Amino acid sequence: MAKDDNQIPKKMFIGVVWNCAAELKVLLSALLFFCSLITLFQFFPSSISNLRGCAAFPPPAAINFLSTSASPVENKKLQDVVIANGLTKRNFNAYGSAAYNFILMSAYRGGVNTFAVIGLSSKPLHLFGKPKYICEWVPHVETLNSVNVTGYKILPDWGYGRVYTVVVVNCTFPTSVGHDGVGGKLVVYASTSGGGDTDFDLTDTIDALTENPGQVNSLQFQAEPKYEYLYCGSPLYGGLSPQRVREWIAYHVRMFGEKSHFVIHDAGGVHPEVMEVLRPWIEKGYVTLQDIKEEERFDGYYHNQFLIVNDCLHRYRFMTKWMFFFDVDEFIFVPKETNLKAVTDSLSDYTQFTIQQRTMSNKLCYLDDNAGRIYRKWGLEKLVYRDIKRGIRRDRKYAIQPRNVFATGVHLSENLKGKTIHKTEGKIMYYHYHGTISERREPCRQLVNTTDKYLDGTPYVVDTTMREAAGAVKMFELRMIGPVLQKTHQ
Ligand SMILES: *[C@@H]1O[C@H](CO)[C@@H](O)[C@H](O)[C@H]1NC(C)=O
Ligand SMILES: *[C@@H]1O[C@H](CO)[C@@H](O)[C@H](O)[C@H]1NC(C)=O
Ligand SMILES: *[C@@H]1O[C@H](CO)[C@@H](O)[C@H](O)[C@H]1NC(C)=O
């Protein structure tokens, strides 16, 4: 079934030239005839003479015949053929292709002999076909040999993809590559292997990564990471509330501390007022903003969330001890008696721990003082009703030690080396204020002054944990960046 990839384009090429020879003859005679007609037309009235313009160009079809494309689908249209006994052999004509074979986002080295190549690929191709990846290391010096290995593909968003699914190709060579200091490049051959059209094993050649001579420093893979905690954010889009983002970033910079970093991905959500809120923290070196708006061209799950988190994983894999994955309407919390460092240290035997949610109402606000002032309060202070309905499946978020992780997801990673722990309830949790970030109006819809509340059958209790932290977060923000954000709006 495996066909020689090189043969197909050659065969096609001959086919096209062969066809053209015959077509050209017909075409040229047609053109000759056509031009003589035009010459005649010059003597006719103007309404016909604008035909003259078209004589300057070959007819559109001729352009196709003259270009020698190797693509199987630009063939001449096949007709149905009547064969013996009145049997008609029906033919099928293929035009174009609806999804790309591979869309490269990035490729990163993950060690002396290993790389991760991150991109999107046609989902049905992966669901119903068996596309293959071959990785080749090509040294910059021609006298040195290239090496090929089979790429191991990981589909981290399996079941979620849309037109496109996320693919992480793990290219691991038997021995180290590029350690000789001459530099080289990683080429990936992505083959459809007959998925899409069994007549063709179409192979695309992807220049995934180029390293300059002397660029690789193999020590970087063992070095102490620069950061203790790095946050990989999901794509931000829509009309985000600057005030909510302000609270979120100040809260987490305070919690994650000096050796932390936040990677924020802008899929259109970082409008100028959100940018104002992030700018002081970017200037302080805590935040990196990545513009990923181009990903919107390719229809994947949730603004290509799985693509973005895998890019972030491999991009920062050796720069941080722990990597966190959660959203900007979620606030990590550890009990007062302890701190984040103590918690992560106690979990350092695990490659991954997941974090349980505390669901907060996004519209019930606590009215314990002057109603007029509630609008000036932070969301953390006023949204204090916690949903205590039991038995509902609650989404988890997670943190990993990324050096042991090869691909990742939204709620956890399933491609890692080492242990995962889910029992972390007492140690670490996150407060979820669903939807509050994506609205620019006041979140309080109902002001309540009771300590217990049922709403639409959902029981709530007052949980002032976050409210109690708010004062310190405000002080922290003021101390770190001054009063620049005091006038931030919802
Ligand atoms: C690729 O997979 C191998 C084996 O699981 C692993 O050791 C290596 O770190 C992975 N490479 C990357 C870049 O993730
Ligand atoms: C690696 O595989 C590609 C694609 O099949 C092929 O063109 C190339 O010659 C191979 N290189 C080596 C060194 O075998
Ligand atoms: C708050 O409590 C007072 C009585 O203590 C009551 O009159 C008022 O209606 C309550 N307000 C709300 C919003 O429930």
CB 177 within 8 A of CB 147: yes
Q: What are phi and psi of 136, to 5 degrees?
A: -125, 130
Instruction: Say which residues have a Cβ less than 8 Å from residue 220's Cβ, sequence separation at least 6.
Output: 318
Q: Is 404 in the pocket of ligand 1 (CB under 6 A)?
A: no
Please give the order of strands across the beta sheet that includes 184-191.
147-150, 132-139, 184-191, 203-211
- For ligand 1, atom 1: residue with the closest CA: 170
Rounded to the nearest 5 degrees, what angle is found at the Cα of 67, between the Cα atoms of 38 and 94? 105
Residues 6+ apart with CB under 8 A from 94: 72, 73, 197
Cα atoms found within 13 Å of the Cα of residue 433, Cβ hemisphere only: 30
Q: How far is the CA of 114 from the centre of ligand 1 (A)?
A: 6
Residues 6+ apart with CB under 8 A from 104: 117, 118, 119, 206, 208
Q: What are 82's two structure tokens?
A: 């009547």
Which atom in ligand 2 lies closest to the alpha carbon of residue 205? 4
Q: Is the distance from CB of 161 to CB of 99 less than 8 angstroms?
A: no
- Closest ligand 2 atom to 189 CA: 4
Q: Judge if 103-217 and 224-485 fold alike in CATH terms.
A: no
User: Ligand 3 centroid to 368 CA: how many Å?
Assistant: 9
Q: Cα–Cα distance between 279 and 287 in angstroms, integer? A: 8
Using the structure block, give the residue that is written with the tokens 């020689």: 4
Distance 194 CA to ligand 1 centre (A): 28
Helix (H), strand (E), coil (C) string for the chain: CCCCCCHHHHHHHHHHHHHHHHHHHHHHHHHHHHHHHHHHHCCCCHHHHCCHHHHCCCCHHHHHHHCCCCCHHHCCCCCCEECHHHCEECCCCCCCCCCCCCEEEEEEECCCCEEEEEEEEEHHHHHHCCCEEEEEEEECCCCCCCEEEECEEECCCCCCCCCEEEEEEEEECCCCCCCCCCCEEEEEEEECCCCCCCCCCCEEEEEEEEECCCCCCHHHHCCCCCEEEEEEEEEECCCCCHHHHHHHHHHHHHHHCCCEEEEEEECCCCCHHHHHHHHHHHHCCCEEEEECHHHHHCCCCCCCHHHHHHHHHHHCCCCEEEEEECCCCEEEECCCCCCHHHHHHHCCCEEEEEEEEEEECCCEEECCCCHHHHHHCCHHHHCCEEECCCCCCCCCEEEECHHHEEECCCCCCCEECCEEECCCCCCCEEEECCCCCCCCCCCCCEEECCCEEEECCEEEEECCHHHHHHHHHHHHHHHHHHHHHCCCCC
Atom 6 of ligand 1, residue of closest alpha carbon: 406
What is each CA distance from 251 to 34, 245, 365, 402, in whole angstroms?
77, 10, 20, 24
- Tokens 């919107």 belong to 296
- Among candidates 294, 239, 254, 222, which has minimal Cα distance to 380? 254
Residue 164: closest CA among 311, 304, 354, 49: 304
CATH dotted code for 224-485: 3.90.550
Of all ligands present, the nearest one to the C-alpha of 365 is 3
CB atoms within 10 A of CB 392: 9
188 touches ligand 2 (CB under 6 Å)? no
Phi/psi for 113 (5° steps) reads -130, 10
Q: 448 is written with which tokens? A: 């309540």
Which atom belonging to ligand 1 lies closest to the Cα atom of 168?
Answer: 14
Cβ neighbours for 425, distance < 8 A, ≥ 6 positions apart: 356
Select from 255, 247, 319 the least CA-distant residue to 278.
Answer: 247
Mutate which of 449, 452, 454, 462 for ligand 3? The one with the most ligand atoms within 8 Å of its CB, which is 449
Report whether residue 267 contacts ligand 1, using a CB cutoff of 6 Å: no
Contact yes or no for 233/261 (Cβ under 8 A): no
Q: Tokens 């695309």 — which residue?
A: 204
The finding on whether 132 has its CB within 6 A of some atom of ligand 2 is no
Give residue 382 CA to ligand 3 midpoint distance, Å: 16
pLDDT score at 441:
85
Q: What token pair was written down for 313?
A: 């994983």
Q: Compute the distance from residue 236 Cα to the ligand 1 centre, in Å.
A: 29
CA distance linking residue 409 with residue 303, whole number of Å: 14
Q: Ligand 2 center to residue 226 CA distance, Å?
A: 38
pLDDT at 74: 57
* Ligand 1 pocket check for 111: Cβ under 6 Å: yes
Distance CA 283, CA 287 (A): 8
Q: Which two tokens stand for residue 348?
A: 């350092």
Q: How far is the CA of 74 from the centre of ligand 1 (A)?
A: 40
The ligand minimizing its distance to the Cα of 149 is: 2
Whether residue 438 has its Cβ less than 6 Å from ligand 2: no
Homologous superfamily in CATH for domain 103-217 = Carbohydrate binding type-21 domain (2.60.40.2440)
The Cα 375–Cα 383 span in angstroms is 11
- Å from CA of 291 to ligand 3 middle: 47
The number of the ligand 3 atom at minimal distance from the alpha carbon of 450 is 14
Pocket of ligand 3 (CB under 6 A): 367, 447-449
Per-residue pLDDT, 124? 96
- Give the pLDDT score at 374: 77
Q: Where are the domains of the chain?
A: 7-74, 103-217, 224-485
154 lines ligand 1 (CB under 6 A): no
Cβ 310 under 6 angstroms from ligand 1: no
Tens-level pLDDT at each residue, the chain (490 residues): 333 333 333 333 333 334 444 444 444 455 445 545 444 444 444 444 343 333 334 333 333 333 333 455 556 888 888 888 889 999 999 999 899 999 999 999 999 999 999 999 999 999 999 999 999 999 999 999 999 999 999 999 988 899 999 999 999 999 999 988 899 999 999 999 999 999 999 999 999 999 999 999 888 899 999 999 999 999 999 999 999 999 999 999 999 999 999 999 999 999 999 999 999 999 999 999 999 999 999 999 999 999 999 999 999 999 999 999 999 999 999 999 999 999 999 999 999 999 999 999 988 888 776 666 777 889 999 899 999 886 565 689 999 999 999 999 999 999 999 999 999 989 999 999 998 999 888 898 888 887 777 877 889 998 999 999 999 999 999 999 999 999 998 8
